[in-house]
A and B are shown apart, each in its own frame.
Chain A
């Protein structure tokens, strides 16, 4: 490649951000380009953004670890008790080594302490089944298989993008049932990010397009207007400005597929009836504006070699030479173009946020338009102001050279550009304003209401300005009419003469008094209802104030500020944080995450700016929106629309949590009552580590006999129908705060396990006080003892699960009765053959002989019944709000009644 040619003067070109081809860019109008690779290796965005994605662990896993610790203690204490008692017992004469049971020479020679240690270890091995190792396998399987139900759910399927939900991690399924805080992005998440031109204001007159459906047919008619209209000249100037002042590109052949990756903001979802015109722009607002202008008769035809073509109302083609584009940036919050008309006039069109345009235009023009802009903003529209300026030849020459120089500057290019931009964009005259609506997502309000009903606090984190965000919040019913708003923004801080910091503290104290101290203590589980006299608070904070709050001038206050802030937030029904930088979003999430009680947080967003908060929260949800797939890729779950969040949390999350919580408790319980008889047997066999059960039973218990029913349960259980869960958001509160894995339910399950273990062992122990159990007088030995205990155990544990199962599909039937049948079959089989590879035929015909004994049958039946009796008793005695929350609570049952009445189908729940 030649950069210089000998006979050519080297041309100096600047390379700036506008020359940067990002990953996935498409080449257009050229076969090839020469490029320079920048930001490679560790400087790539990917490498820089890589923040060592920390492993997200669910609250359930933390509970499991705590329980495990308890069981480990039980295991060790059991082993210690047995070892101690063994040596106490052996110290008696003749017990250690009676004549009939001599030790080998090796055993006699072993050191006493070594023996003690090996004894301890043997007991550990004997009792190690109490640690439910197989639970981890089952939990993993449950999570992996269970997450398919999210992918498969057709309710999550969005016909528009032809995609359903996506599960990136299966570790957090149950966390979806534990969410206490939802942090949502506004644009693209709460709203559709599908901009629509609503109205404009030209020279102070409002133009609202009434017949939106028929919009394209009235191309030739005058702009519909409310009362009066501005001069035609002004009108056309305004529309030309809309047509020219942008960076939109036209893709004529809209139906054709573009090879390569997605370009942000493709607007090709719905083919247009007349002209297959597709606009591509970096911001959806610009497309909306160009389309808006098109509806009023000015069509942007495209940019051809620096010439912008527009078709005016008379269907004439007007050509403008594009001289300069003064790019948009978030600091200036405006952009401009400098064009030259056919007649040689040089015009500058500028559009931008009201706050950045108003100071740069003639003050007398502002007032007329400000009214409209503010009204539009409160209605939730995104507003832009349009200004223009005619440049004289001299002015242009100055600007042109300035711009060129600044662009070529190798140092401080940004600053220089900024300076010249500011210099050029002065003294303009305001010609109008536009209002673009960012429509709410489907069912956004219902979803938010359901989330709040479920006791989830919703925080809206947005980069938008306060008025727009606030109106969105009202539209989403996050703020209600009666909600008292507590504002903590730059504006409220600055209206006093006091210093900002002092004012901040003062306001914080004031709000804290109102929201926290004066509020009556909220009873757990009280629904948000209209009848309660509780004042609801909405809290609003903006980015600048937040950074002041997070990094106060005096470090000592940081903690105080933060506590006050958090307490206010926790007592508000909804919190709105506007003007947030992406990092601040993550900061907020982190602050809530680490606050008292470490609540479970969920972030939902669709854009790259939400990635940091998605990664920060316990559960990150990506919306498959229009802003690329960055958020989806970094999320734990991705859903096509915001409305799907409701089912994801209320139905899937709730069910997953109940399932896995039950699974965990059940596993601990079943291993406890499995191993407890073995422990008790040590007291009767001289603490000799004699196992009660045969080795095959020991191994198969967790693998085959009792694993499948609980797996099926944990995949299929619906303790309440999905419709009921969706209709009664309050049900979600029942499982809040890890309700089923707290110490109380854990204690209940443990006590149940101990009770049943005692039953199994001592029931059979009393039966064996006379081991002649067959009607031919023959006696049973120790393996029969173990087999009877084991049979009772397998049946009890399986039937206990059957009692807990509320949703019996054929799979449950098959697996529960199947594993019992398999146990019987296996026992026959295992005891029916002399196995050549076994050293000892311990179980040879033990099971069959057991079944031939009536007494064994009777004891098995009564022990199973007796073990399940407490469970049955609890069903009758359990208060409506039991530790398992399986029974419908009182208030819920009324909901359910209503549901049943409104759905007269014979579904019982």
Chain B
């Protein structure tokens, strides 16, 4: 039966196709595959009030505790900011900022004292902060030569055009570009004033302030045994006091791999920013890193900011697992969690009051 049917069909096809005269459109029965027939097995979720409402509650229940945790964590972080721009006459740094000149050879120093009313327990991180400083200005951001900083000798001799106008100062500038040229060069020193009046310098560690990968891969000194010799044919950036090979005495922290330099080279996202300056390591478990009491901050004031109405500040902060002090995340989580929970309640109410008709039809199915 089937055979005869097939034969008949074949016959019909033959005469049919001969009538149509086209061999190109021979029997092309579409494949009966799931894909071609748009019948791929599919998961068909329906978001309904029934599935979404519990999600609201779950989100609320998860987010609110997280938010509280974040908020508490952030609040436990101790942070103190000392502004030392010296815009006001009362400020100890007023003279330094007021009499600033690029050509002065003697460093101007100013001393600020402050009082810590709470001890800083764990490691303390020392930041410098700048305001109204547009490190994210396009002209500024691109004004660097990463291959020069990676130790490429050709780029050392002939820095990238992006570095203009900080590319050549008769000799090629190393490191070239506006970012390097404007490197922050105030020196900040911290002293603890004993209750009996003696001034104890606090050891500031300058290692571990830059990203590990930056320090070890992205930034590299040009090959050569002696940094002075390597940088012989280059000029120091215009605004620098010392050439790049004299940034530090430690050879592991000198030249392009100086961590202060690397930190500065990572351009900030916003015009008000802070950058890690030093780390004060915890000595032991018994004494706090920074005990309660009087401190002085000695600033070697080299960095002018008043011309663009900038501000400079020193920040001491402890750090938690979430980073520095920032109540935003905690508040955000608590808010979103509460909103979700609240919405859940309201919607449940609405759903129950007005959604009965839909429910009944659901049940009937």
Interface residues of A (CB under 8 A from B): 24, 94-95, 98-105, 148-149, 151-154, 156-157, 159-164, 254-255, 257-258, 260-263, 266, 268-271, 629, 684-686, 688-691, 716, 718, 722, 763, 765-786, 803, 806-812, 834, 838-841, 844-845, 848-849, 853-855, 858-859, 862, 865-866, 869, 872-873, 875-877, 893-894, 897, 900-901, 908-909
Q: Bound complex: CA of A772 vs CA of B266, how far in Å?
A: 13
Contact pick for B17, options A151, A162, A261, CB 8 Å:
A162
B323 at the interface (CB under 8 A from A): yes
CB within 8 Å of A: which residues of B?
9, 11-21, 25-32, 36-38, 40-49, 52-53, 55-56, 59, 63, 66, 70, 123, 125, 127, 133-147, 150, 160, 162, 164-166, 178, 181-182, 208-211, 213-214, 217-218, 239, 263, 266-271, 273-276, 279, 304, 307-309, 317, 319-326, 328-329, 332-333, 336, 339-340, 343, 347, 350-351, 361, 364-365
**Contact: B304 with A99, CB < 8 Å?**
yes
A503 to B213, CA, bound (A): 93
Q: How far is the CA of A154 from the CA of B364 in the complex (A)?
A: 35
Q: Decide if B141 touches A782 in the complex (CB within 8 Å).
A: yes
* Contact, CB under 8 Å: A767 / B328: yes
Complex: chain B residue closest to A715, CB-CB: B38
Q: Check A154–B276 contact: CB distance below 8 A.
A: no
In the assembled complex, the CB of B37 is this many whole angstroms from the nearest CB of chain A, namely 6
B140 contacts A100, CB within 8 Å? Answer: yes
Minimal beta-carbon separation of A338 from chain B (angstroms): 32
Interchain CA distance A767-B40 in the complex, whole Å: 44
Distance in angstroms between the alpha carbons of A781 and B56 in the assembled complex: 35
26 A-B residue contacts at CB 8 Å? Answer: A100-B182, A101-B134, A151-B30, A154-B30, A162-B28, A262-B20, A271-B11, A684-B269, A688-B138, A718-B38, A767-B326, A769-B270, A770-B324, A771-B273, A772-B274, A777-B125, A783-B267, A807-B42, A839-B147, A841-B218, A844-B213, A862-B333, A875-B48, A876-B53, A908-B44, A908-B46
- Quick one: which of A257, A769, A803, A806 has the most chain B CB within 10 A? A769
Q: Given A772-B317, A803-B47, A875-B48, are A858 and B70 neighbors across the interface (CB < 8 Å)?
A: yes
**Residue of B18, B133, B162, B263 ringed by the most chain A CB atoms within 10 A:** B18
Q: Who on chain B is nearest to A148 by CB?
A: B36
Chain B residues with Cβ below 8 Å from A24 are: 21
Report A-chain residues with C-beta under 8 Å of the C-beta of B9: 159
Which residues on the A side are within 8 Å of B307 (C-beta)? 94, 98-99
| A768 with B269: CB separation less than 8 A | yes
Residue with the greatest number of chain A CB neighbours at <10 A, chosen from B25, B48, B123: B25
B325 contacts across to A, CB distance below 8 A: 770
Q: Please state if A782 and B268 are interface contacts (CB–CB under 8 Å).
A: yes
Contact, CB under 8 Å: A268 / B45: no
Name the distance in Å between B344's Cβ and chain A's nearest Cβ.
Answer: 10
B141 smallest CB distance to A (angstroms):
6
Given contacts A159-B9, A690-B141, contact A100 B38 (CB under 8 A): no
Residues of chain A within 8 A (CB-CB) of B339 are 869
Residue of B at shortest CB range from A722? Answer: B38
Instruction: Kindly report which residue of chain B lies nearest to residue A151, judged by CB atoms.
Output: B30
**Is the Cβ of A806 less than 8 Å from the Cβ of B45?**
yes
Expressed in whole angstroms, the Cα–Cα distance for A269 and B12 within the complex equals: 6
Given contacts A767-B328, A834-B217, A839-B147, contact A152 B210 (CB under 8 A): no
- Cβ of B211: which chain A residues have Cβ within 8 Å of it? 778, 845, 849
Given A767-B329, A844-B217, A897–B365 Cβ distance below 8 Å? yes
Q: In the complex where A839-B147, A872-B47 touch, is A100 in contact with B133 (Cβ < 8 A)? A: yes
User: Chain B residues near A98 (CB, 8 Å)?
Assistant: 134, 307-308
Query: Complex formed: what's the CA distance from A849 to B325 in Å?
Result: 19
**B residues within 8 A CB of A722?**
38
> Cα distance A875–B355 when bound, in Å?
13
Which of A767, A849, A872: most chain B Cβ within 10 A? A872
Assembled-state Cα–Cα distance A775/B125 (Å): 11
Complex contact B47–A684 (CB within 8 A): no
Which interface residue of A772, A773, A776 has the most chain B CB atoms within 10 A? A772
| Pairwise interchain contact A779-B136, C-beta atoms closer than 8 A | no
- A268-B15 contact given A770-B325, A772-B319, A872-B47, CB 8 Å threshold: yes
Partner of B136, one of A95, A153, A690: A690
A763-B365 CB under 8 A given contacts A257-B14, A260-B21, A840-B144: no
Asked if residues A101 and B139 are in contact (CB atoms below 8 Å), the reply is yes
Taking A153-B36, A685-B137 as given, write out 16 further A-B residue pairs in contact, using a Cβ cutoff of 8 Å, ordered by the A residue number: A102-B165, A152-B36, A162-B28, A263-B19, A266-B19, A691-B138, A767-B328, A773-B322, A774-B323, A777-B125, A786-B269, A839-B146, A845-B211, A862-B332, A872-B56, A875-B47
Q: How many Å lie between the Cα of A269 and that of B49 in the bound state?
A: 58
Quick check: B162 and A839 within 8 Å, CB to CB? yes
> Which A residues touch B41, using CB under 8 A?
809-810
Residues on A with C-beta less than 8 A from B43 are 808
Across the interface, A897 reaches (CB within 8 A) one of B209, B343, B361, namely: B361
Measured between beta carbons, the chain B residues less than 8 angstroms from A784 are: 269
A838 vs B146: C-alpha distance in the bound complex, in angstroms? 9
Contacts of B125 in A (CB 8 A): 772, 777
Q: Which of B15, B25, B44 makes the CB contact (< 8 A) with A269?
A: B15
Query: A908 contacts which chain B residues (CB < 8 A)?
Result: 44, 46
Residue of A nearest to B47 (CB): A875
In the bound complex, how far is the Cα of B127 from the Cα of A774, in angstroms? Answer: 14
Q: Closest CB of chain B to A69's CB: distance in Å?
A: 30
- In the complex the two chains form, what is the Cα distance from A893 to B308 in whole Å? 67
**Complexed CA–CA distance, A95 and B134 (Å):** 9
Cβ of B49 and Cβ of A157 under 8 Å apart? no
In the complex, what's the smallest C-beta–C-beta distance from A482 to chain B, in angstroms?
32
Q: Which residues of B contact A876 (CB under 8 A)?
A: 49, 52-53, 347, 351
Q: What residues of chain A lie closer than 8 Å to B336, measured between beta carbons? A: 862, 865-866, 869
Smallest Cβ distance from B189 to chain A, in angstroms? 19
Q: Which of A157, A839, A909 contacts B29 (CB 8 A)?
A: A157
Chain B minimum-CB-distance residue to A813 = B43
Given A255-B15, A875-B49, also A778-B320 (CB < 8 A): no
Q: Are B268 and A781 in contact (CB under 8 A)?
A: yes
Q: How far is the CA of A780 from the CA of B340 in the complex (A)?
A: 31
Q: How far is the CA of A164 from the CA of B47 in the complex (A)?
A: 37
The one of A148, A162, A769, A775 that contacts B320, using a Cβ cutoff of 8 Å: A775
A875–B284 CA distance with the chains assembled, in angstroms: 57
Partner of A163, one of B25, B45, B270, B320: B25
List chain A residues, Cβ under 8 A from B160: 839
Q: For the complex, what is the distance from the CA of A408 to the CA of B323, rounded to whole Å?
A: 106
The reply to whether B16 and A782 form a contact with Cβ atoms under 8 Å apart is: no
The listed residue (A148, A266, A808) touching B44 by CB distance below 8 A is A808
Return B112 CB to nearest CB of chain A, in Å. 22
Known A-B contacts A685-B136, A690-B138, A855-B326; the reply to A771 vs B268 at CB < 8 A is: yes
Closest 8 CB pairs of A and B: A100-B182, A772-B324, A785-B269, A777-B125, A152-B36, A688-B138, A690-B138, A809-B40
Nearest Cβ distance between residue A156 and chain B, in whole angstroms? Answer: 8
Q: Give the chain B neighbours of A255 by CB distance below 8 A.
A: 11, 15
Q: Is the CB of A152 within 8 A of B329?
A: no
Q: Does the CB pair B209–A778 fall under 8 Å?
A: yes
Contact A854 B178 (CB under 8 A): no
- Do A104 and B44 touch (CB < 8 A)? no
Residue of A nearest to B142 (CB): A840
Given contacts A94-B308, A782-B267, A840-B144, A688 and B329 within 8 Å (CB-CB): no
Q: By the criterion CB–CB under 8 Å, are B321 and A775 in contact?
A: yes
Do B308 and A99 have beta carbons less than 8 Å apart?
yes
Q: How far is A99 from B309 in the complex, measured between Cα atoms in Å?
A: 12
The residue that A270 contacts in the complex, of B12, B208, B340, with Cβ under 8 A, is B12
Q: B266 to chain A: which residues have CB within 8 Å?
A: 779, 781
Partner of B36 from the list A100, A149, A718 (CB cut-off 8 Å) is A149
Given known pairs A154-B29, A257-B18, A845-B211, the reply for A766 and B165 (CB within 8 Å) is no
B37–A154 contact, CB under 8 A?
yes
Q: How far is the CA of A310 from the CA of B217 in the complex (A)?
A: 102
- CB-based nearest A residue for B53: A876
